[in-house]
Structure 1
């Protein structure tokens, strides 16, 4: 493991806790955690930063999934079907991730954030209530292909925003409300994290000691966030999403051009 100062470790652990909370509420905790790792480990290859990010995130995501399942009715069978497709996609993306440069990551993340924020901002009723009509087989297959293979591949290749994309895709395709979509996304996201982490670990691109410490804080944040989302509902989830997206766009833009 590279030499890391105590101050940097503390900051990374705080970022991990905040990212776990954000990820559990609305997804996209990696949009905070990955930039924090990039800044805190400036001399570490991008592939190793991505692998360490996955090792941290899988713990919080799994903890949030368990918390949601205790309180929210989720179609676990469907979530697992999408999750298995996502696992395959994430392994494919992770296999290509070692060639990504840090300089390419920030602009890509910013584009992702702007698209997500604009979509949610201009659709105020999106995800406030579940759809009344049953979901067709075609929509289920589209969810497996898009939310599974497609977003899973993105998660393995880059990662940040995966949970948010899953929430949006599940809400749009399966007519779920935002809280149920968040719960379902956690099961799928656990699968994508597992697939990507397996590939990164196989390639030796994980800082395990740092990841283990950060994972404890990520888990605490994730379980707290899941409980708050369940208690406060879809309106709260939407507000957190918009706030997080706006703050991160400003932050990354300043880092890129400031």
Structure 2
């Protein structure tokens, strides 16, 4: 049994609950949970933080996905199609996690996130209203490539911000509202978490007992976040998305130049 002090456990449980809330609304809970695990488990290799994060997050994400599906219309067939591809891509990404230089990828991710934030700020109506437009087959195929294969691979490789990228892809390419995109992203995110978790489990870098305890708090946070998003609508999701993007960019910048 992993022995941790009470203050460390409380910190990890709080981080798990907050991460569940963020993931349920807009994604990006790994921004909170991975650093917390790295801080709380200094005696373990970073891969244990990544693996334990996936084992914790998949519980809250699955709960949020069910909550959204019950309260908001979700195209289950579309979400599952993306989710299966994302699961496979995430497993591949996790397998390559130690072979790719994060120092090269992080600046590119920061630029992409800043472009996303600027786009959302300059277009206040982006994702807040149903346009009534139906995505063409070409846009559907592009969305499958970007959100299914691309974002899935990224989640296994690095992780933080996966839900955010999925929402932007669904809104921009499939003309969903922020709320519909967030609901669909939860189903897909279950797939990305599952694929990465299988890979990390194969390498033995998951602390299952700790993850099980943290999952209880992650589910509680997800329950609150999902109900708040459903009650407050797409405008609320949009605001949280911008906050998460700003925090994610700040974290990546810190890791890149001062971490």
Verify same fold: TM over 0.5: yes
Contact 1:57 1:193 in 2 (8 A): yes
Q: Deviations over 1:127-174 (max 9, x none)?
A: 111222221111111111110011000011111100110011011111
Find the counterpart in structure 1 of residue 234 from structure 2.
Answer: 234
CA distance in 2, matches of 1:106, 1:171: 24
For structure 1, which segment, 119-128 or 83-92, has the greater mean C-alpha deviation from structure 2 after superposition? Answer: 119-128
Find the counterpart in structure 2 of residue 257 from structure 1.
Answer: 258
Specify whether residues 179 and 247 from structure 1 end up closer, same or farther in structure 2 by C-alpha distance, changes over 3 A only: same
- Report the aligned-residue RMSD: 2.3
Aligned pair count reads 258
Matched, 1:246 2:220: no
Q: Normalized against structure 1, the TM-score is what? A: 0.91
Q: Normalized against structure 2, the TM-score is what? A: 0.91
Question: Post-superposition shift, 1:67?
Answer: 0.3
CA distance in 2, matches of 1:199, 1:248: 25
Question: Post-superposition shift, 1:251?
Answer: 5.5
Specify whether residues 155 and 251 from structure 1 end up closer, same or farther in structure 2 by C-alpha distance, changes over 3 A only: closer
Find the counterpart in structure 1 of residue 205 from structure 2.
Answer: 205
**Which SS does the other structure have where 1:97 is aligned?**
coil
CA distance in 2, matches of 1:155, 1:249: 16
Find the counterpart in structure 2 of residue 46 from structure 1.
Answer: 46
- Unaligned ranges ≥5, structure 2: none
Specify whether residues 137 and 110 from structure 1 end up closer, same or farther in structure 2 by C-alpha distance, changes over 3 A only: closer
Matched, 1:30 2:27: no
CA distance in 1, matches of 2:227, 2:30: 20
**Which SS does the other structure have where 2:123 is aligned?**
coil
CA distance in 2, matches of 1:105, 1:47: 18
- Unaligned ranges ≥5, structure 1: none
Find the counterpart in structure 1 of residue 74 from structure 2.
Answer: 74
Specify whether residues 107 and 209 from structure 1 end up closer, same or farther in structure 2 by C-alpha distance, changes over 3 A only: farther
Find the counterpart in structure 2 of residue 217 from structure 1.
Answer: 217
Find the counterpart in structure 2 of residue 180 from structure 1.
Answer: 180
CA distance in 2, matches of 1:40, 1:101: 24
Specify whether residues 210 and 222 from structure 1 end up closer, same or farther in structure 2 by C-alpha distance, changes over 3 A only: same
Contact 1:46 1:98 in 2 (8 A): no
For structure 1, which segment, 110-119 or 62-71, has the greater mean C-alpha deviation from structure 2 after superposition? Answer: 110-119
> Aligned runs of 1:76-91 on 2, under 5 Å?
76-91=76-91
Find the counterpart in structure 2 of residue 161 from structure 1.
Answer: 161
Find the counterpart in structure 2 of residue 117 from structure 1.
Answer: 117
CA distance in 1, matches of 2:226, 2:104: 32
CA distance in 1, matches of 2:244, 2:119: 14
Specify whether residues 128 and 153 from structure 1 end up closer, same or farther in structure 2 by C-alpha distance, changes over 3 A only: same
CA distance in 2, matches of 1:124, 1:234: 11
Find the counterpart in structure 1 of residue 126 from structure 2.
Answer: 126
Matched, 1:63 2:96: no
For structure 1, which segment, 188-197 or 246-255, has the greater mean C-alpha deviation from structure 2 after superposition? Answer: 246-255
Contact 1:112 1:161 in 2 (8 A): no
